[in-house]
Amino acid sequence: MKILYFAWLRQKIGTGEERKDIPANVTTVSQLVDWLRSEGDHYADAFKDTSAIKVAINQEFADFNATVQSGDEVAFFPPVTGG
Amino acid sequence: MKILYFAWLRQKIGTGEERKDIPANVTTVSQLVDWLRSEGDHYADAFKDTSAIKVAINQEFADFNATVQSGDEVAFFPPVTGG
Amino acid sequence: MAVRVQVEDFDLGMELKQLTDGNHAIGGLCSFVGLVRDMTKTDDGEMTRSAAMTLEHYPGMTEKMLERIETEAHERWPLESSLIIHRYGRMDAGEQIVLVAASSAHREAAFEACHFLIDWLKTKAPFWKVEEDESGKENWVEARDSDDQATERWNKN
Amino acid sequence: MAVRVQVEDFDLGMELKQLTDGNHAIGGLCSFVGLVRDMTKTDDGEMTRSAAMTLEHYPGMTEKMLERIETEAHERWPLESSLIIHRYGRMDAGEQIVLVAASSAHREAAFEACHFLIDWLKTKAPFWKVEEDESGKENWVEARDSDDQATERWNKN
């Protein structure tokens, strides 16, 4: 799975993009976040409060209960502030 | 009194600006229009339907029952269509 | 704040640039340009091609009304800069007729003020349009109810 | 219709001119430019001077979202032309960040579509701003409720 991080999530996690082999029992965004938290303190710190985090699957906005698959591009970021 | 006409009023009356000595009993815009109608057919034709005519006194929009004086600049024109 | 009534065309890019240059308190600039369309409505409500149009105005009163409209916008919204340019005389299809623009710290004020400027101008500035159809016949453009309604909207504030 | 996501600044006058050139069906062109202000809000809600800001975006998704926003505008209003340019990277106070513009036969459609473009872009295009204060400290700009409300407004149609 290709996982992207933007803005302060990128800074906290220390990378903007990574490829990860996801366990078979991770099938939703929420489960992916839980699993990432277990991958290290910087993940746990970045995902401490998910109420301020948005997710996109294959470049489409999605919910935390949406399904994810190993071939997906999943992106985490704070609410957008462009314009 | 300086009297101005714009757009099709100017065309019908045949002039855009004229100075006229107004009778003493002409004290409102309505009376001025009635008096102008008596000054010739082109005036009568131009002022046939005053519902489509606006008036300004000294460059301020006014009503037909507003007071006019000999030193005033009175302008007649159709509803504006700029922009 | 500036109002200009002129025969000459204007350089849109240069005019807009001058409204923001050097003022770093500005977060947004909204502008509207009105252009001469090549379609016109005849007396029977049909659409027909028009070759050109001529704008007549009331010198003196025009400037006074435009300045008042601009002042009103500054009283209603916290604007950093604004501009109204309105041309008169003969213009061909595609030419610029009018520019209104407003800048502010925030975009909502810039948008509303710009919209207000053109809506009020449409019913309060003494300009009159006469259009020529392809045969050379002149038609005085009639005021539209929708313009009155657009002006009304700003009275409800 | 066009969407551009770029580091380089843009020539506002030239961009707007190209939106109307040669199309005599256009009666109005509305545009909005967003600029970098030199004031920024700190975590405690205080206003402070900011030296510069950097815009980060999500390449691929950004273009897709902007194109979708523009398409939506054309579905809602009878537009003759439109443009969205959004910059990313580091920008100083006073620089242009974003341009949205829409033209139509009538001014109301141009105004509404232009307003819609920037409102939707503000909450749907994946850009993030980080501001530097004068000491060099970075603050990620927080999303504003007012932007969500501005987006909401267009759902009620």
State the amino acid at position D143 in one-letter form. A
> Which domain, by its residues, includes A63?
2-77
CB–CB of B78/B53 below 8 Å? yes
pLDDT, averaged across chain A: 97
Q: How many domains does chain A have?
A: 1
When computed from its CA atoms, the radius of gyration of chain A, rounded to whole angstroms, is 12
> What are the φ/ψ torsions at residue D152 (nearest 5 degrees)?
-50, -45
Q: Enter the tokens of residue A54.
A: 């948005």
pLDDT band at C136 (very low <50, low <70, confident <90, very high): confident
Q: Does residue C157 carry a pLDDT above 90? A: no
Spatial separation of the C-alpha atoms in residues A16 and A5, rounded to whole Å: 5
Non-local CB neighbours of B27 within 8 Å, separated by 6+ positions: B67, B68
Domain assignment of residue A67, yes or no: yes
- The reply to whether B15 falls in a domain is yes
Neighbours of A50 (CB within 10 A): 16
Q: Of all residues in chain D, what percent carry a pLDDT higher than 70?
A: 93
CA angle D123, C105, D48 (to 5 degrees): 95
Q: Which of A30-44, B62-76, C49-63, D112-126 has the lowest mean pLDDT?
A: C49-63
* Pairwise CA distance, residues C134 & C48, whole Å: 9
Three-state DSSP class for B69? coil
- Rounded CA-CA distance C37/D15 in Å is 20
pLDDT band at D94 (very low <50, low <70, confident <90, very high): very high
| Cα A73 from chain centroid (whole Å) | 10
Query: Quick one: average pLDDT of D74-84?
Result: 98
- Among C92, C83, C89, residue whose Cα is nearest residue C121: C83
CA dihedral D96, D102, D105, D109 (to 10 degrees): -110
Is the Cβ pair D16, C29 closer than 8 Å? Answer: no
**Domain spanning D3-140: which superfamily?**
Molybdopterin biosynthesis MoaE subunit (3.90.1170.40)
**Is position B82 within any domain?**
no
D10 to chain C: nearest residue by CA?
C13
Q: What angle do CA D52, D53, D57 make, to 5 degrees?
A: 160
Q: What's the CATH number where A60 sits? A: 3.10.20.30
Calculate mean pLDDT across residues B10-38: 97
pLDDT of residue D4: 98
Confidence of residue C106 (pLDDT cuts 50, 70, 90): very high
pLDDT of residue B27: 97
C145 and C48 Cβ atoms separated by less than 8 Å: no
Domain-embedded: residue A50: yes
- Is C46's pLDDT higher than 70? no
Residue A66 lies in a domain: yes
pLDDT of residue C86: 98
The reply to whether residue C108 touches residue D20, judged by beta carbons under 8 angstroms, is: no
Residue A82 included in any domain: no
What chain C residue is nearest to B17 in terms of C-alpha separation?
C58
Answer whether D64 sits within 8 Å of A59, measured CB to CB.
yes
Mean pLDDT of chain C: 93
SS3 content of chain A, % helix, strand, coil (to 5): 30, 25, 45
Query: What's the pLDDT at D45?
Result: 65
ipTM: 0.94
For residue C141, list chain B residues with Cβ-Cβ distance below 8 A.
Answer: 81
| Residue-wise pLDDT tens digits, B30-83 | 999 999 999 999 999 999 999 999 999 999 999 999 999 999 999 999 999 999
SS3 C101: strand
Flag whether B61 is in a domain: yes
What pTM was estimated for this model as a whole? 0.94
Q: pLDDT at residue D58 above 70?
A: yes
Which pair of tokens denotes residue C24?
């770093």
Which chain C residues are closer than 8 Å to B75 by Cβ?
58, 61, 126
Asked if chain B contacts chain A via 3 or more Cβ pairs within 8 Å, the reply is no
Q: Quick one: tokens of D156?
A: 């009620």
User: Which one, of C69, C45, C42, lies nearest residue C127 by Cα?
Assistant: C69
Identify which of B4, B61, B81 has the shortest CB distance to residue C129. Answer: B81
- Which residue in chain C is spatially nearest to B73 when comparing CA positions? C61
Mean pLDDT across chain D, nearest whole number? 93
Pairing of strands B17-19, A73-77: unpaired
Contacts of B6 in chain C (CB under 8 A): 56, 58, 126, 128
C-alpha separations of C58 from B81, C22, C65 in Å: 12, 35, 10
How many CB pairs (< 8 A) connect B and C?
69
Q: Is the pLDDT of residue C5 over 80?
A: yes
Residue in B with minimal Cα distance to C147: B81
* pLDDT tier at D41, thresholds 50, 70, 90: low
- CA–CA distance, D66 with D62 (Å, rounded to integer): 6
In a domain, B83, yes or no: no
Does residue D157 register a pLDDT over 60? no
